[in-house]
Amino acid sequence: MPAKRSAVLPEIYQIKVTLLGTSPPIWRRLLVPADVTLTQLHDVLQAAMGWDDGHMHEFSIGPRRIGRPNPEDRLMGMPSMENERTVRLSGILGSVGSKAVYTYDFGDSWEPWHRSGEAASS
């Protein structure tokens, strides 16, 4: 008799994203895999808001800046940026209540977005 395989379901994070400075508040609650890269999360955020990815963006968590590194930043004396293709959501929002900032267009900020709880995988 073949052994039963136990399917390992991916951990799913529930995050709440709120656009600052809006009345009434504009927000989205998203369910995303914990192992999604920040590049993939950027794509999810763009789709959730109906945006067309026409502007620069970055994620920040405390002093960490994560996005699309530009080699010219160093030449201009700006701090280096971590590559969003290598950073996973679980690496920055490791616990419920963790917060991060997503800045899009450097004029519209999504803040705070945080891991608000765990969703059951089914």
Quote the tokens at residue 107: 């004029």
Q: Cα dist. 32→67, 74, 76, 101, 118 in Å? A: 19, 33, 36, 17, 10
Taking the CA atoms of 16, 100, 32 and 103 in sequence, report the sign of the dihedral they define. Answer: positive
In degrees and rounded to multiples of 5, residue 114 shows phi and psi of: -150, 160
- pLDDT of residue 117 exceeding 70, the answer is no
Q: Is the pLDDT of residue 104 over 80?
A: yes
Q: Is the peptide bond before 112 cis (omega within 30 degrees of 0)?
A: yes
pLDDT at 84 over 50: yes
Average pLDDT value over all residues in the chain: 84
Label residue 120 by pLDDT band (50, 70, 90). Answer: very low
- E strand or H helix at 109: strand 108-118
pLDDT > 90 fraction of the chain, expressed in percent and rounded = 40
User: Which of 32, 35, 82, 77 minimizes the C-alpha distance to 62?
Assistant: 82
CA–CA separation, 92 vs 61, rounded Å?
Answer: 7
pTM (two decimals) = 0.79
Least confident of 29-38, 44-53, 97-106, 107-116: 107-116
